[in-house]
Amino acid sequence: MGQEYTYAEAAVKLRVAETTLRRWVSKGRVPCHRLGRLVRFTDEDLAAAYKACPALARR
């Protein structure tokens, strides 16, 4: 299994605010993995975020 990222780490990689990433997850725009209350993102999840939000690809 690849690397897993927290909200803070994933937000830095996507170059968005953590609150923005949390909002996108709650709306289902960005996939994630939930382990109880923990939320983690894989490299594949972050790649899917670029496809779901074309504006991220221009950054």
pLDDT for 54:
60
Q: How far is CA 31 from CA 9, 20, 39, 54, in A?
A: 15, 14, 10, 15
Write the CATH number of the domain with boundaries 4-57.
Answer: 1.10.1660.10
Model confidence at 49, pLDDT cuts 50, 70, 90, reads confident
Q: Above 70 in pLDDT, residue 52?
A: no
Phi, psi of 34 (to 5 degrees): -110, 130
At 4 the three-state DSSP class reads strand
pTM, to two decimals: 0.81
pLDDT tens digit sequence for 8-30? 999 999 999 999 999 999 999 89
- Measured between alpha carbons, how far is 8 from 16 in angstroms, rounded to an integer? 10
